[in-house]
Amino acid sequence: MRPRIADVWGAILADAFAGKPSQEIVERDDGFVMAFDASYLLAPFEDWDDADERRAMRFVRGRVLDVGCGGGRVCLQLQKRGLGVVGIDSSQGAVAVSIDRGVRDARVLDVDAVDPSLGLFDTVVMLGQNFGMLGSRTRARRLLERFALVTTPRGRIVAETFNPHALDDPVQQKYRERNLRRGRMPGQLRVRVRYRDLATRWLDWLQVSPEELVQLLEGTGWQLARTLGNGPSYIAILEKVEPRGNARRP
């Protein structure tokens, strides 16, 4: 029997919020599995164990769109700082937990449905590896162009990803090579998340090196301003390319 397709993130977050131990189990299409304790999803800023994430929050300014807000940990911290923030998540259960925890504006919305009706943002945040949501080369470029439309000229994207080339064990190498042979990006993971008897659908989860990111951004209106972090996991700060003929005067 197969796991039931359902709101996995909602179930994980509801259990974590109720104080139950819960883990997200990520299964890749080559049979590779990983488990992550879900408590980080609800951690207050002070307890974020990724120092780069805490540091990245300094780059968040103005009106903010938190893409994949989960249990609202990023929204809550930004609200505390007095910023206006809209959290979106495709999981109804995640949004329910965010609201319960005090997020003032969390909406059930797929990243594909982001459009100017949400208003303009100064920063788009994708922490917690949420860059992965961009999925594939094509989808990433489409969504980045979409983000350009909903951001101000000083718009910024603060996104966390993972350099897939940093893992040199044979299993990971083989997976990247298989992806390349199939015309996919090396770090384009085909995964689903499982929890208890539930699973998400299989989806593409994109991981890129800084070099791959620079290439990916070409023509999207975004450029890599800087990266934070020295590990395989790192945070990219993207800023808008100044439009042609609009360069700053000395």
Element at 121 (helix H, strand E): strand 121-126
Take residue 101 and report the two structure tokens written for it.
């925890």
Q: 250 Cβ partners below 8 Å, 6+ apart?
A: none
Distance (Å, rounded) from C-alpha 54 to C-alpha 240? 23
Of the two residues 1 and 247, which places its CB atom closer to a second copy in the complex?
Answer: 1
- DSSP conformational letter for 6: S
Token match 């609009």: residue?
A: 246
Amino acid, res. 225: A
Pick the stretch among 34-42, 113-121, 144-152, 224-232 that binds a second copy (CB under 8 A). Answer: 34-42
Rule CB under 8 A: choose which of 20, 33, 214, 226 binds a second copy.
33
Contact with a second copy (CB under 8 A) among 48, 147, 195, 205: 195
Give residue for tokens 């350009």: 148
Q: Are 164 and 207 in contact (CB under 8 A)?
A: yes
Please answer whether residues 60 and 76 qualify as being in contact, where contact means their C-beta atoms are separated by less than 8 angstroms.
Answer: no
CB of 191 to a second copy, least distance (A): 13
Which of positions 212-231 make contact with a second copy (CB under 8 A)? none
Q: Which candidate, 160, 208, 214, 217, places its Cα nearest to that of 184?
A: 208
> Which residue in 20, 32, 44, 145 binds a second copy (CB under 8 A)?
32
Q: Judged by CB under 8 A, which of 20, 29, 51, 211 binds a second copy?
A: 29
Q: Helix, strand, or coil here: 173?
A: helix
Q: How far is the CB of 67 from a second copy (least distance, A)?
A: 26
Alpha-carbon distance 136 to 143, whole Å? 10
Site for a second copy contains 177 (CB under 8 A): no
- Binding test (CB under 8 A) with a second copy, winner from 6, 25, 83, 237: 25
Q: How far is the CB of 195 from a second copy (least distance, A)?
A: 7
CA triple 195-99-117, angle to 5 deg: 105
The answer to whether 109 touches 158, Cβ cutoff 8 Å, is no
**What's the min distance (Å) between Cβ of 231 and a second copy?**
14
Q: Quote the DSSP letter at residue 165.
A: G
**Considering beta carbons, is residue 178 or 226 the nearer one to a second copy?**
178
Residue span binding a second copy (CB under 8 A) among the ranges 69-77, 113-121, 125-133, 196-204: 196-204
The nearer residue to a second copy, 98 or 188, going by C-beta atoms, is: 188
Among 18, 105, 121, 171, binds a second copy (CB under 8 A): 171
Size of the site for a second copy (CB under 8 A): 20
> Which residues of this chain interact with a second copy, rule CB under 8 A?
1-4, 23, 25, 29-35, 37, 171, 194-197, 199
